[in-house]
Amino acid sequence: MSNEQIMERLTAVFRHVFDDDDIVLTANTSSKDIDDWDSLEHINLIGAVERTFGMRFQTKEVSGMKNVGEMAKIIAERATK
């Protein structure tokens, strides 16, 4: 799966979780860039990403992610769907 495909699928997940069709992701997008991205929505987001890509993040990965680019890198390494 290419990085472009990952970003397209992530964009769809983010738009669904945050109910905002105007979200445009870049590798540098972080919680500071999306108003509703708080700790509760982070949990919902991680679950949605895991379901979409058929993978599970490790706790240390979730706590260490600083932006969407880091999330996409982990997905590229491990996604099955």
**Structural domain of 69:** 3-78
Q: How far is 62 from 76, CA to CA, in rounded Å? A: 15
Considering just the CA atoms, what is the radius of gyration of the chain in Å?
Answer: 11
Q: How far is 55 from 28, CA to CA, in rounded Å? A: 22
54: left (phi over 0), alpha (psi -120 to 50) or beta: left
CATH of the domain at 27: 1.10.1200.10
pTM higher than the cut 0.85? yes
Q: Does residue 79 carry a pLDDT above 90?
A: no
How many domains in the chain? 1
| Segment 5-45, tens digit of pLDDT | 999 999 999 999 999 999 999 999 999 999 899 989 999 99
